[in-house]
Amino acid sequence: MCGLEAFFGEWRLEREIRQGDGGDGRFEGVARWLPEGEGALYVEEGALLLPSGRFAAERRYRWDRDLRVFFEDGRFFHQVPAEGGPAGHWCDPDQYDVEYGFGDWPVWWARWRVTGPRKDYVMLSRYARLTAAKR
């Protein structure tokens, strides 16, 4: 895997969510890394499918050249290991641990394990390139 530019463009995103209590969900949509200044704006849009119904869902983050990920309000979230591997984020009172897998690039995955008194789930996101960004 390379630097930030390798992510630029549009990706198919499929996500499985497994709750600690046995409940399941899915997300199906598109993720885009859009060049912005010295970094990128990450935007995912799609449908969240839960036992209670289908919901439109969107999420945004900012990435910098060092693969550091920030929430929209500028707070640091975590740093993506360039070659894949673990990272984490403490969001009091819950712990967010992630493992990135880039071994089949440009198909890759991120597996989040979230634990704490408020949250308990595993979320596996799979990305496959749809289009590369034009420079």
3-state secondary structure of 65: coil
Q: Is pLDDT above 90 for 32?
A: yes
Please name the residues in contact with 131: beta carbons below 8 A apart, sequence gap of 6 or more: 9, 10
| pLDDT tens-digit map of 57-86 | 999 999 999 999 999 999 999 999 999 999
Q: Which pLDDT belongs to residue 133?
A: 74
Confidence of residue 1 (pLDDT cuts 50, 70, 90): low
Q: How distant is the alpha carbon of residue 36 from its chain centre?
A: 18
Q: Which CATH superfamily is domain 4-132 in?
A: Calycin beta-barrel core domain (2.40.128.20)
Give the pLDDT mean for 88-106: 96
Q: Counting every residue, how long is the chain? A: 135
| pLDDT tens-digit map of 8-31 | 999 999 999 999 998 899 999 999
- Taking the domains of the chain in order of start, what are their residue ranges? 4-132
